[in-house]
Amino acid sequence: MWWTIALFIILCVLISVLPWCRRQEILWLFVSYSIAAVPGNAHMIYRCGKIINAFNISGLAGTIVICAGLFLLLTWIEQLAVLLLGRLIWPEQEAFILEDPVKEKAERKTEEYEKDSEGEEEIYELPCYRR
């Protein structure tokens, strides 16, 4: 378990130093820890053979299902702990919202139109019909 503490400290130092991680540290901590913790979690599941044997599962498919379940449970618990600690370290974060690109483009066009039409009076000419 010492590797999880060391990994957390190293990632916190890297995230606090890198300029593109500013104000979105929790997002970067989640992504980087998710990737970096996979080898350690896999090794921990491998070393916990007694837990897997306690289920009395014979066969490769049952063993794979039990290992995958324990791996996901371990990863979920670690992520909760890491994100709670990260939130204590960096309490103020920018909102990370994925926007709809079509809506964003329409808003940009509206802003450009409003910017172009500022200060100008619009004159509508009525069509003249001759008889």
pLDDT in tens, 61-89: 777 888 888 889 988 998 999 889 988 88
pLDDT band at 1 (very low <50, low <70, confident <90, very high): low
Q: For residue 98, what pLDDT is reported? A: 62
Domain boundaries, the chain: 2-115
Q: For residue 96, what pLDDT is reported? A: 65
91 versus 2: which is more confidently predicted?
A: 91
DSSP labels, the chain: -HHHHHHHHHHHHHHHH-GGGTT-HHHHHHHHHHHHTHHHHHHHHHH-HHHHHTTT--SHHHHHHHHHHHHHHHHHHHHHHHHHHHHHH--------PPPHHHHHHHHHHHHHHHHTTT----PPPPP---
pLDDT band at 56 (very low <50, low <70, confident <90, very high): confident
pLDDT band at 3 (very low <50, low <70, confident <90, very high): confident
pLDDT in tens, 5-48: 888 888 888 888 888 878 888 888 888 888 888 888 888 888 87
pLDDT in tens, 87-119: 888 888 777 666 666 777 777 777 777 666 665
Q: For residue 99, what pLDDT is reported? A: 63
